[in-house]
Amino acid sequence: MVSNSVSDRLKQNAEKIVQMWEVRARNEVGASTHQDSLVLQNSLPLYLNQLVDELSTQIERAPAKISATQVETTRIGKQHGHERAGYADCSMTQLIFEYHILRQVIFQVLEEETPLDVRERDIIIDSIEQAVNDAATQFSQTLRDIQELFMLTLTHDLRGSVNVVKLGTQLILRRLERGDAHLDVAVRMIGAIERMDSMIQNLLDASRLRAGQSLKFEFQDCYLDRLLQEVVEDLSFSYGERFVVAADSDIKSNCSRKQLRRVIENLATNAVKYGTPDTPITLTLQQTETQISLTIHNEGTPIAREAQSILFQQFRRTVSSEEQTGWGLGLFLAKSIVEAHRGTIEVKSAEGEGTSFIVKLPNFSAVAN
């Protein structure tokens, strides 16, 4: 049995430990200097009380007692991590450093009279390590929740304002006649607003995916060759007659028309951004008995092989694309949408051959026929 004198000493000196820890934390942890109190919601005193109980029990404890102790320690650690995540300038490193200071202070105070033995030190170290893990896990989760809420609120508010501007610009566009000097300006405004709306939608959808939610899909029978032509006509309005379509006719699929349109728009717009100016962008749609493939190709500098591995990760961009506008979410969302259709997306890029993004979807209608 661990000597109860250690437990007693910890209980008698708990307030002293809290005070010493708070002084050191204020001096050594950057995010702590302006806080009114570091003992948020009494999580540290609660933890010390729990450690008192651990030190006053036998090393070989009953399973029920061990389980109850672990549950309580986990609760306290998570509470501490949740509290710290609410401070904008508190980082994971600082959170962990707080526990590092706590361990030093506990050992300093308890060993003022007599050294701790190996078992006593192990109990304290194990307890603090568990608390650090629990606090860090909850800190990360709470921070993600805060970020997701912020993102959802931001995108919701932005979309409302963008929709007002979009509707107003569309009304102005309808009143302008061909040849009017302001017509081109209004068209460009509509294009800019639609790109902004697309960026906001990408942020919203990425937040949903990170939160473990799924995108909304309404599957229906649609002709992909006709969808492709519609998208190209709309894009030509903004980017000119650069698009060349080579599509088999009557390619029918059961899909989310809205979401696949986003995939085509994103890949084609990327081809405009990163391809050599004034060169053709080719969109090829083909089908076999088992597969439908869409290839979007542009000329220009190839994507480095090491950069290809991060293309479909959210908020990741290649060095060559850092000067372009956008969130770095388009390809991540395109991959998510294609995979929701049980398909795949890949990139092929090489010197002298340009860049091709290839979307492959199962051809269920051909199999059914």
List, in order, residues 6 or more apart from 364 with CB less than 8 Å away.
Answer: 253, 254
Question: What is the CA 3 to chain-centroid distance, rounded?
Answer: 49
The rounded average pLDDT for each run of 10 residues, N- to C-terminus, in the chain (369 residues) is: 73 89 82 51 74 69 49 66 70 84 92 88 89 85 73 69 79 76 76 74 70 74 93 84 91 90 90 91 94 95 82 57 52 88 93 93 69
User: Are the beta carbons of 263 and 254 closer than 8 angstroms?
Assistant: no
Report how far residue 217's alpha carbon sits from residue 282's, in angstroms, rounded to the nearest whole number.
Answer: 27
Burial of 72 (0-12, 13-18, 19+ CB in 10 A): middle
| Half-sphere exposure of residue 229: CA atoms within 13 angstroms, side-chain side | 11
- Tokens representing 80 are 């501490």
pLDDT in the model for residue 357: 96
Q: How far apart are the first and last CA of the chain?
A: 77
Q: What CATH number has the domain spanning 4-147?
A: 1.10.490
pLDDT in the model for residue 211: 61
pLDDT in the model for residue 1: 46
Q: Which CATH number applies to 219-368: 3.40.50.300, 3.30.565.10, 3.40.640.10, 3.40.50.720?
A: 3.30.565.10
CB atoms closer than 10 angstroms to residue 333: 23
pLDDT in the model for residue 57: 59
pLDDT in the model for residue 332: 82
